[in-house]
Structure 1
Amino acid sequence: MHQLVVPIGYMGSGSSVITDLVSEFRGYEARNDTFEYVFLHCPNGVFDLEDKLLIGNNALRSDEALHSFLNTMRQLYDKKWWWVGDYQQRVGVEFWDCTKTYIKKLVQYTPTYYWYMQENTNIQMFFKLAWKRIVSLLTFHKVNLKKPLLYSPMWISFIQPDEFYEISRVYIQQILKLMGIMEQSIILDQLLLPHNLYRVDHYFGDELRAIVVSRDPRDVFIINKYIWSKQNMPVPYPTDVKKFCGFYKGLRESEKYTQSNKVLRIHFEDLVYDYENSVNQILKFLNLDSSFHTLKKTYFLPERSINNTQLFQNERYKEETKIITDNLSDYLYPFPYARVPVESQTF
């Protein structure tokens, strides 16, 4: 098995630079560019399944967890026009079979009784219940059709942590094989998030190389509010500067820090202002030497990306910049020199 490189960021922190840079290394490919694979950390993904089955579990909780997971994976597989979906094409047609096998291994009991979540009604259920009632009345209660349920049977699991992680590792490895990790090293953007990196040693072996990119929040705020919004791009942060500070601080403080040797942390700005040392740091992390950097500055151009830094030096952002400087001092980057970028060249 070759390496799995996962670029990770804090919403607008520039993590796609890792996809661009590592794609310049011989033997590394981002087959779907910066497409974000979310099946691990999305709501009702693998990590939610872990929490539900291993923390405060009970029969009903496990049934909900397993069915919710399968339904979500089906959507990721089927929904061609959902920007995080279409796994049938982006992963492979075998993704769904692997997922069903994964669930089958996790389910321990399938009782014949049911619970209230299975009785929840929708339009289809309404007509089935009405028909059941009609048949009962017409036969003077001699014929009672089976009670319609949203799904059947229940899936119950009281699986132990070691077994859950082992089954999950096999599942993830199967998916990685579908994406070509046996042939070459692959780059999967945002397969993980900073907030669930503490889990990685349970799920991955030495193949994982997660690279977390942070960025000066002053630039993050300005590029969100004044650059991306004008381009009709999604803006994930509040545009009120005080609310931004609270939001950003909460985002960073909610992260459960990990010391895993599978994780490298780097500043976006280091790749611009200290390019050679930063590239060497990443090469070392991947156990490569400089000879592997065969397409140097083909996809990532620090001379161009410098226009995405120090936006806060513009005089018209002075007041908002001061508020961020005062409230988020722990996250500011120590720039080696000051420069005012040409905003029209910011992207």
Structure 2
Amino acid sequence: MRFISCASYYGSGSSAITDFVSEFENVYSFTDEEFRFIQDPDGVSDLEYNLVENFNRHNSGHAIKRYKKLVGFYCGNIFSKKYEKFFKGNWKKCSDDYIDELTDFTYKGWWQYDLLDKGDFFYFRKRILNKILKLTVWRNQPERTLNTMKKEITYCAHPTEKKFLECTKRYIENLFGSVSQNADIVMVDQIVPPTNLKRYIRYFNDIKVFVVDRDPRDIFVLEKYVWKDGIIPSDVEDFCKWFKYTRNHRLIEQLNDDNICFIQFEDMVYKYDNTAKKIADWLGLETNEQAKKMQYFNPENSIKNTHTWTKINCDLAEIDYIEKELYNYLYRFEEG
């Protein structure tokens, strides 16, 4: 199975690529839903760190529990349908099979983080009871500890890097293959981040990743005056710090190689034909297979969300500040 994914920084327009690629008839697209279970905290990458790179008898077993908890979260519920609606009931099943394959053995046992996971009250109640028992009934048994978690399961897993990668590749392909109708190419949004990509592409047999960015002036104006969701800073000085902070990896990481392609969102709008050909050629897609051309991504619609500081009544002094602080990240519209 061949994967295509977009990696972005928030609000940078990666859906333009997702929509464009979805127009090809030989691509199975999972739409704009973000499948972040590989890169999220407690996700697959963290699992590899704790099981393979930094194995520890406590941390490794607990990392599996944290991954199981993440799987449960992404199952969704009656109020918020998440991954199960896309995988038709296969998300938890494939994830459980993956965990079983990585696990060497289990036993009934616990440690302090199992207590903490049940909340501060549960943890401190147990500690207080333990102290009382040691001062009274167990005063001659200083090493004894109250066991309030007799049914707790501890996971033991220490796979080699080779085994972990083999299991992970099989897990991902089984998961997406369960619903992709035997498609050769699958489009999945945000399955990897733009940072540290060389680590993440190891989890796939074949993946092409687009790192998408956008003029910071548009991101700032859209956040402050349109989106207003508070995920990124709307104070201009903090915004510039955040923008540099999230893109700093590009100073040391190579984003253009056989598996990674950097795309500027505005090029999809202002240089559509050339950029579309570049993308199709890189992916090995034939233009005659673009059966739904411009049905999902239409540059005439997206152009409305460019050069926004000239269309919205905003503080131009803030735009001047961005142009000075983030000069190297500005899109040259006059060249577009």
TM-score (norm 2): 0.84
1:325 corresponds to which of 323, 327, 336: 323
Deviation at residue 172 of structure 1 after TM alignment: 0.9
Gaps of 5+ in 1: 134-145, 339-347
Matched, 1:202 2:202: yes
Give runs of aligned pairs for residues 162-241 of structure 1, distance below 5 A.
162-180=162-180, 182-183=182-183, 185-206=185-206, 208-229=207-228, 234-241=229-236
Amino acid in the other structure paired with 1:44: D
Amino acid in the other structure paired with 1:99: S
Give runs of aligned pairs for residues 156-167 of structure 1, distance below 5 A.
156-167=156-167
| Aligned counterparts of 1:276 and 1:151: Cα–Cα separation in 2 | 62
Percent identical among aligned pairs is 29
Amino acid in the other structure paired with 1:114: W
| 8 Å contact kept, 1:4–1:181 | no
| 8 Å contact kept, 1:8–1:213 | yes
1:292 corresponds to which of 272, 289, 292: 289
Give runs of aligned pairs for residues 133-148 of structure 1, distance below 5 A.
147-148=147-148
Give runs of aligned pairs for residues 36-47 of structure 1, distance below 5 A.
36-47=34-45
Gaps of 5+ in 2: 133-145
Amino acid in the other structure paired with 2:179: M
| Aligned counterparts of 2:335 and 2:113: Cα–Cα separation in 1 | 60
| Aligned counterparts of 1:302 and 1:171: Cα–Cα separation in 2 | 37
1:64 corresponds to which of 62, 65, 84: 62
| 8 Å contact kept, 2:27–2:183 | no
Amino acid in the other structure paired with 1:250: Y
| 8 Å contact kept, 1:198–1:257 | no
Q: Which residue is 1:301 aligned to? A: 298
1:97 corresponds to which of 86, 93, 102: 93
Q: Deviations over 1:112-160 (max 9, x none)?
A: 5532223445578979x99xx9xxxxxxxxxxxx933186332122322
1:279 corresponds to which of 276, 283, 300: 276
Quick one: structure 1 residues 184 and 160, their matched pair in 2 at CA, closer, same or farther if it must change by over 3 Å? Answer: closer
Alignment partner of 1:110: what SS?
strand
| 8 Å contact kept, 2:224–2:234 | yes
Give runs of aligned pairs for residues 2-151 of structure 1, distance below 5 A.
3-31=2-30, 33-82=31-80, 86-111=82-107, 113-120=109-116, 147-149=147-149
Identify which of structures 1 and 2 has the higher relative contact order when contacts are C-alpha pairs closer than 8 Å and 6+ apart: 2
Deviation at residue 265 of structure 1 after TM alignment: 1.2
Amino acid in the other structure paired with 1:7: C
Quick one: structure 1 residues 107 and 224, their matched pair in 2 at CA, closer, same or farther if it must change by over 3 Å? Answer: same
Root-mean-square deviation (Å): 3.0
Deviation larger for 108-117 or 43-52: 108-117
2:309 corresponds to which of 307, 312, 316: 312
Deviation larger for 270-279 or 302-311: 302-311
Q: Which residue is 1:344 aligned to? A: none
| Aligned counterparts of 1:262 and 1:151: Cα–Cα separation in 2 | 46
Alignment partner of 1:194: what SS?
coil
Amino acid in the other structure paired with 1:197: L
Quick one: structure 1 residues 201 and 6, their matched pair in 2 at CA, closer, same or farther if it must change by over 3 Å? Answer: closer
Q: Which residue is 1:334 aligned to? A: 332
Q: Deviations over 1:306-347 (max 9, x none)?
A: 121112345844211111111112211122359xxxxxxxxx
| Aligned counterparts of 1:201 and 1:337: Cα–Cα separation in 2 | 34
1:244 corresponds to which of 235, 239, 242: 239
| Structure with the largest fraction of strand | 2
Deviation at residue 289 of structure 1 after TM alignment: 2.3
Amino acid in the other structure paired with 2:200: V
| Aligned counterparts of 1:107 and 1:148: Cα–Cα separation in 2 | 25
| Aligned counterparts of 1:317 and 1:171: Cα–Cα separation in 2 | 49
Q: Which residue is 2:258 aligned to? A: 261
Deviation at residue 196 of structure 1 after TM alignment: 4.3
Alignment partner of 1:195: what SS?
coil
TM-score (norm 1): 0.82
